[in-house]
Structure 1
Amino acid sequence: MRFGFPLPIFAALAALAACAPPPLWHKAGVAPARLHSDLTACRVDALTQVPERIRRHYRPADYISRPVCTATGHCYVQRILVRPAEYERYDANAGLCEDVAQACMADKGYTQVRLPACQSPQGQKITVNTRAPLPPLSNESCAVRLPSGDWRIVTPTTP
């Protein structure tokens, strides 16, 4: 497989993407615990409406061939296993299930937003009250990664 970017640039882009916050659900004034319970309820409801449809896909082994010659001049082609054959399992209804869960959250008044990661001035640590209700969104809104690995929307106040 050949990428349009040189490998170091591709690796750097992948690393940056790993640090970016995912799309986050937002509804101003809602407590994080309520958001979590609403999202869980919507996901469970989606699973009952859209049952799993597990499928299997066979990926054959990948080999490369290289010529090998002995000291006596006898030459042959050696096959080298690059990736063994495998079966991949996937849920063919996963996308539909996610769509149903998103519609449920929208029905509850939530919107999904993409925000940049918060950049603290002079490298100071940003503290977040994890129980405070979600703030209204503004141009300064951003997302902070919590020690739990979750992301939290914050709107920094300027002094």
Structure 2
Amino acid sequence: MFRPSLTSVISIALLGLAACGPLPVYYDEGKDQTRTNSDTLTCKVAALKQAPVANQIRHRPPVYYPGRQHCSNGHCWTTSGDWVDGGTYTVDVNQGLRSQLEQRCMAQKGYRRLELPRCSKEQIAALQSLPGSTQRGAGLSENACAVQQSNGNTVILPPL
């Protein structure tokens, strides 16, 4: 019998909430999005060389579901409990270090790390069609938001 563990239910809920939260972006007022993406890729590659992926296999402890007591016509009995495997997962033990190395590299290039709200579909359509939205050096607008593209790049709208 499959019974989802509390850990797996909480993990799924947190993943769903994370998709709604703000996106971390690197920002330097004097640089356009193409340059930012190029610098980000350069820093990610450098960080990956310094702290390569190092996956470790981990095991969650098994979970015991105790049996139940049943009574009928004055006679009671208890069914046996069930042990359910806690599951196996992998952890990249260098992920935190790699993230720090990337952030340091970007800071050395003059970027600040910000968190911007995710753009709604309506915002994307409206902000991409703004006149003069390709001007540089104006800084972040009040209604700036971020979109994560399928290639992993994060784009700030309106365009800088």
TM value normalised by structure 1: 0.66
- For the residue of structure 1 that corresponds to 2:80, the secondary structure is strand
Residue 139 of structure 2 corresponds to which residue in structure 1?
137
Q: Is the 8 A contact 2:147 2:157 kept in 1?
A: no
Pair 1:14–1:42, CA change in 2 (3 A): closer
1:153 corresponds, among 153, 156, 159, to: 156
Output aligned runs, 1:1-159, within 5 Å.
18-69=19-70, 73=75, 75-80=77-82, 84-117=85-118, 125-128=125-128, 132=134, 136-138=138-140, 140-145=142-147, 148=150, 151-154=154-157
2:156 and 2:113 map into 1 onto residues whose CA distance is 11
Pair 1:120–1:48, CA change in 2 (3 A): closer
- For the residue of structure 2 that corresponds to 1:66, the secondary structure is coil
Q: CA deviation at 1:23?
A: 1.5
Q: CA deviation at 1:43?
A: 0.7
| Matched AA of 2:108 | D
| Matched AA of 1:56 | I
Q: CA deviation at 1:53?
A: 2.8
User: More deviation in 68-77 or 33-42?
Assistant: 68-77
Pair 1:139–1:40, CA change in 2 (3 A): closer
Q: Is the 8 A contact 1:116 1:143 kept in 2?
A: yes
Pair 1:103–1:142, CA change in 2 (3 A): same
- For the residue of structure 2 that corresponds to 1:103, the secondary structure is helix
Q: Would you say how many aligned residue pairs link Structure 1 and Structure 2?
A: 145
- For the residue of structure 1 that corresponds to 2:66, the secondary structure is strand
Q: Is the 8 A contact 2:21 2:118 kept in 1?
A: yes
Q: Is the 8 A contact 1:32 1:132 kept in 2?
A: no
Q: CA deviation at 1:46?
A: 0.6
Q: Is the 8 A contact 2:67 2:80 kept in 1?
A: yes
Supply the RMSD in Å over aligned alpha carbons.
3.9
Q: Is the 8 A contact 1:26 1:111 kept in 2?
A: yes
1:97 and 1:146 map into 2 onto residues whose CA distance is 20
- For the residue of structure 1 that corresponds to 2:99, the secondary structure is helix
1:44 and 1:124 map into 2 onto residues whose CA distance is 29
Structure 1: gaps spanning 5 or more residues: 3-10
Pair 1:110–1:133, CA change in 2 (3 A): farther
TM value normalised by structure 2: 0.66
Q: CA deviation at 1:66?
A: 2.8
